[in-house]
Structures are given as structure tokens and as C-alpha cells.
Amino acid sequence: MKDVAELAGTGDESFRVDLESEISTLETELEKRSFTVMLSGPYDSDDALLAIHAGAGGTDSQDWAAMLMRMYLRWAERHGYQTEILDLTVGEEAGIKSSTISVGGRFAFGYLRSEKGVHRLVRLSPFDSAHRRHTSFALVEILPQVAFDSPEVQIEPADLRIDVFRSSGAGGQNVQKNATAIRITHLPSGIVVTCQNERSQSQNREFAMRILRARLLEIKKAEKEEEIAVLRGEYTKAEWGSQIRSYVIHPYQMVKDHRTEHETGNTQAVLDGDLDEFMEAFLQQGSSSSKRA
């Protein structure tokens, strides 16, 4: 590169263009490496489980949950991540009540952990005959996928109740004739997970156990963080309703993250999966906080 720089100094325009191109490439690579440094948490490089739950707001919130699912699937596709819907409960009129998605690829959890929390949508409701403005909420959970041989989560077979049932579907060919769906209840914690992705019973059981392990790890992490926060005198209980991000479609266009204050007026681009700037702002804020601590 030094040779190119010296040649560029001779006034040759072609060398100057080459130099600018090389500098741009180096800057892009430096940005990528700097961003990767921020993904240094214990599970950041792992696969992730993404769960979406419709909140208050009836059909509007169920439609909002479906919009969020589409948004994250598009984001994953942009980044070349492998996705698989493990469980899906559709709404009565539209949208979904809940879904659980496996997202596989390097740093999937590290990127997606910025999305954990309540997401709020403000728009003119397509389900309101008077076409009034409605506010809808949905909860997004992000869990790391835990290896089955991980010592961090130990599950005793005697602590599980496993029920088998038929998968629910839209009717016709989508309805399973055999009981392949799995519901696992972890008796000590009361956690219930289901998997009915219309595959074999053994595969549904494997996926359900994967989700259960992830939820148990999340509880373990939360308990530890709560203990540390109490010792520091910083503990405040996390409550439903304190949204992390608002998506406004009416009366104006804006998506704003309430933790970082990052915002954009291009709501449609975000709903189409353009989330990187929000994720980067969250990770940069976390990195700055760690340095101050």
C-alpha cells in the first residue's frame, strides 16, 4: 500500500483511485473487526433461539407479532443465517400468538441479544372498521442455544413430564394425522415448552429439549445478574410494558430505540430487516458501559 501511496503522489489519477479504493476496503475491514470485538460475551458466538409473543392489543398485536417474525427472518436471510420455525401458534383472525425460531450461524446470539424486550407498534389499525390509531405490543425473547453436554444446565429425567399430541394446523394437508407434537413440562421450574413443527416425534422432542435448556440457562443467568445488581444496590425489577423500541407508522414514520436513542425515519426498511444500525448502537453502548465499569 505504501508503494501505491507514493505513486499516487506523482499525480497519476489511476493510482489515486486505487489508493482510495484500498483505503475504503481497509476501513470496512477495520469496522468489521472492531464490531466483532464487541461480540465477546460468553454466548455471543453461539446460535440463538428467537421467541415472539403477542401482547396486549388482540388481533392487532397478533398481526404485529407476525410482522416482527417476518422482520427477523428477513434480517437473518440478509446475513446468511439458517433459520427454522420450531413452534408456531397462529391467531384466530390474523397474525400469530407466538413463535419460536432457531437462528444458526456465527454470532447469531451476539447480534440478536439487542432485540430482547417489548416492541411497540403505533399505526392505523387495518382491523378497526373506523380505521382508528392503535398501539400494539409484542415480547421478543433471545436465548442462546446450549449444547446438550454443557455442564451449565443439568436436567434430570424425573423432573420432566412429556405429553404427545397432534400438531395444530390450518386444515387439509397441514393437519397431522399422527400425534407428533411434544409438550415438555419442567416440574421444578414450571417451564412449559412445545414443539410442533410437523416433523417426527423424535425431532420435536429434541427441539423442545433444546428450548427448555435455553430457558433454564436464561433463568440461571437472570438469577446471577439479580444477585450482582442487589449487591451493587442497582436492582430494579423488569416489568412488562417498558418497551425497548417503538415503531411508528402513523401519524409519522419513525423507529426509535429507547435505550440508545438511535432512530430512523425509514420504518419500512427496518420492518424489511434493516436492523444492523440498531444492533450496533446497542452493542457500542454496552461496550462503553463495560469500559466505564
Q: Render pLDDT for 108-167 as a digit per residue (tens, 0 to 9).
A: 999 999 999 999 999 999 988 888 899 999 999 999 987 666 778 889 999 999 999 887
Least confident of 35-49, 112-126, 209-223: 35-49
Instruction: Transcribe 9-71 into DSSP letters.
Output: TTT-HHHHHHHHHHHHHHHHHHHHHHHHHH--STTTTS-EEEEEEE-SSTHHHHHHHHHHHHH
71: domain range?
Answer: 48-145+259-292
Is residue 27 included in any domain, yes or no? Answer: yes
Are residues 63 and 201 both part of a single domain? no
Q: What are phi and psi of 49, to 5 degrees?
A: -110, 125
Is residue 114 included in any domain, yes or no? Answer: yes
**277, containing H or E segment:** helix 276-292
Is residue 245 included in any domain, yes or no? Answer: no
Task: Give the contacts of 203 (CB within 8 A, at least 6 positions apart).
Answer: 197
Are residues 133 and 278 both part of a single domain? yes
Cα 273 to Cα 70: distance, rounded to the nearest angstrom: 8
Structure confidence by residue, pLDDT tens digits, 219-268? 888 887 776 666 656 544 444 557 999 999 988 999 999 999 999 999 99
Is residue 170 included in any domain, yes or no? Answer: yes
- 187: CATH: 3.30.160.20
Is residue 239 included in any domain, yes or no? Answer: no
Are residues 99 and 130 both part of a single domain? yes
Is residue 252 included in any domain, yes or no? Answer: no
Is residue 201 included in any domain, yes or no? Answer: yes
Looking at mean pLDDT, say which of 104-108, 176-180, 199-203, 237-241 comes out highest: 104-108
Are residues 62 and 200 both part of a single domain? no
Q: Looking at residues 171-200, what average pLDDT do you find?
A: 76
pTM reported for the whole predicted model: 0.79
Beta strands 245-248 and 117-124, pairing class: parallel
pLDDT at 23: 76
Are residues 27 and 52 both part of a single domain? no
Domain count, the chain: 3
